[in-house]
């Protein structure tokens, strides 16, 4: 089992990001952060909560929370001179799932086919609503050395199924065996 470092970018977002039912003040702050990011020419993905390695040849990933998604949307729209509508914001707030995207590594182009992902919170296993994976992995930065290939495994987890304040282990299981785990402290996402 490979265990990869904990949550790296919780310091990037100054809000309680894993709020499953954000209030109006949190929503206004998320929109304001997005507009400010656009004014400073920061990319919308700066609101993703990143974890794992920071290099190109070790497992890593990100998750997108409701407030992060609102900031991403506000940044995109502000870059076009627009504001998100109440309906746009409501659609994000009503989304029942949190997206988690990982990049894992292997030595064959199809190593990620049929991969799976779960959360573990104090022995309770939380399964995702959906899982997608790259059917054909791309060459890694290490090519032709190992690890030769990298692939994405993406899952959506229902907010109602997990504790948004708990220490969590995210584990990805490639179908060809092995696992990659990330230690995430949801309570520290601010």
pLDDT digits (tens, 9 = 90+) for 44-99: 999 999 999 999 999 999 999 999 999 999 999 999 999 999 999 999 999 999 99
Return d(Cα 22, Cα 132) in angstroms, integer: 27
pLDDT attached to residue 153: 98
Q: Is the pLDDT of residue 13 over 50?
A: no
Whole-model pTM: value is: 0.88
Q: Is the pLDDT of residue 9 over 60?
A: no
Residue 70 in 3-state DSSP? helix
For the chain, what is the total number of helices (H) and then of strands (E)? 3, 11
**Residue 190 binned pLDDT confidence (cut-offs 50, 70, 90):** low
Domain extents for the chain? 2-188
């Amino acid at each position: 089992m490979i265990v990869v470092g904990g949550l790296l970018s919780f310091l990037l977002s100054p809000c309680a990001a894993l709020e499953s039912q954000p209030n109006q003040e949190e929503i206004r702050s998320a929109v304001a952060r997005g507009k400010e990011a656009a004014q400073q020419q920061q990319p919308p993905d700066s609101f993703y909560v990143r974890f794992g390695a920071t290099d190109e040849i070790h497992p890593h990933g990100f998750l997108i929370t409701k407030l992060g998604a609102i900031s991403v949307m506000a940044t995109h729209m502000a870059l076009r001179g627009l504001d998100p509508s109440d309906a746009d914001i409501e659609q994000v707030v009503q989304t029942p799932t949190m997206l988690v995207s990982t990049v894992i590594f292997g030595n064959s182009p199809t190593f990620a086919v049929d991969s799976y992902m779960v959360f573990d919170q104090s022995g309770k296993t939380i399964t995702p609503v959906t899982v997608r994976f790259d059917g054909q992995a791309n060459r890694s930065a290490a090519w032709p050395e190992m690890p030769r290939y990298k692939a994405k495994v993406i899952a959506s987890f229902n907010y109602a199924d997990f504790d948004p304040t708990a220490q969590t282990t995210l584990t990805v299981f490639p179908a060809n065996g092995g696992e990659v785990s990330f230690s995430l402290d949801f309570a520290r996402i601010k």
